[in-house]
Structure 1
Amino acid sequence: MTAKLIFSDIDGTLITSGGDVSPDTIDAIRKQIIAGNLFIPVSARMPKGIMNVVDEITNFCPIIAYNGALVLDEMGRPLNSQFFDAAEAVQLITKIDALKTQDLAWNVYSGYNWFSSLNKNPLVKKEEEIVGIKSLPVSLERIKDLKGIHKVLVIGKPDTLDKIIPTLQSDFPKLAFVKSAPHLLEIMLKGVNKGKAVKIVLDSFAIDKTNAWAFGDNYNDEPMLKAVGHPILMGNAPEELKNKLNIPVTLDNNHNGIAAALNKISN
């Protein structure tokens, strides 16, 4: 019997609005693991932010972090790592700082590290509470010294982010800009996405996409959902995305959507 690979986004998918994994979802995933199948969390989060959630389920699994910019095997060894230059990140941050608005806050992620501005914005503090990790406030000089950047995250009001995206896309053509939530703008090297990372994991296990399931709830999950044979949207996904993808929809993340779908899978 070929093992099944089960990929899942975290925020808005695996966890509830309260930030926890429901007991029913934990049980459903553990049953799949006991049956010989593999669970792989996929997120825009940093590795530690992913494991803070997944440790409730298992402490031995591959992970896909930073929307696919970093892929680690079950032993924590990198299967793929895609950086962009620190100098480009500094230019990007300088553009954001020049707007002089409290509506926006930048964050820089490199490997296992999360950096924010010296004058920590309340928006960053809220994000820290959500993921259960503290960022390290630094100057731009510290950012310049980094070997590479996996991701820049801009937190802000949805309408403010929508206004700046076209300008940033024009000024930084080598970077990709995608919203993982109305108030979160994820910035990675162009070409990085969850779908390519899923394929890397599938290839590492020599498993065909027909034996892969994926759960997601937002636009940055679209490439992942297209990369597997059994894509499933959460009930809380945007209606526009549901209509666009026309794939199965399960219950929302507050009503055990993942468990409802996994319990229908025969082992």
Structure 2
Amino acid sequence: MKAVLAIVLCAFSAVGCGTRTSSEMKNIYKEDQDGVRRRDAKAEEMRYALSFGGCTYSLIAQNYAITAAHCSEESGALGTSGAAMAAGQKEAKDVQLDSLIESGLGSDYKIYKIKWTSKKYMKAQHIWTKFALKKSAVKLSIKPAKGDAVSTVGFPYDGEGQAIVSTGFLKKVSNYIVDPYSEIEGSGLYFNAGITGGNSGGPLFRASDETLLGLTVSGDTPSYYSPNRPESSWSADENDVWNIATPIWVVHEKSQAFRSIVQGGTP
């Protein structure tokens, strides 16, 4: 529940989350010996996501994007495509949220129709076309480095606008509290790549075949919850630091709009 609340608060308060320094993130996610890393995204990786300042979005069609339901951006908000960032245009504001298509009930996702205010980088932006549509499509394991190797791209507050890639492994699927206020539970896909405020809604994917597995929705640094324990003493395979994504198969099952969009139709 703490993890869910922290990300929700981060989505509404860039000030509170942005004051933490990058040094608070580095030990567990940059130096862990299990292969879990956070690093600056390469140009081709930036294309996987869109930044709207508070949260991270992904294209599921040329004019439709998906993110976490708890993200606070509204219709009319301007954002920057990862493709524009890859071209060195970090302030491009080339994409806009047009209208909300759907917000998941009991699952942390929402779908927006978007408009391209400039089409200069539109065709270079990655559109997700491969999806894990059932749980059996992924490999899970609580053992170190035995689940599917996964990555996520996002715009965490400690990255100061830079696209950051985090890598790790899938762990398990289990229910968690989606909404800390109503205590609604939903299915979560647990992984140990490092995320924090600003990563919400970003793509969790299997880099080996560019398959979208979920949307990052909950997680933070362990020191945020346990300030009396040095972060360097944590292992990324302790379940207290596993993070959570909304499984994309849950979105596919619940959302007629999603199914229609990814099949080339309209919601």
Tell me which interval the TM-score lies in, with the shorter structure as reference length. under 0.3
Q: TM-score, normalised by structure 1?
A: 0.23
* Structure (1 or 2) with the greater helix fraction: 1
Per the normalisation by structure 2, the TM-score is 0.23
Structure with more strand by fraction: 2
Q: Return the index of the structure with the highest Cα Rg.
A: 1
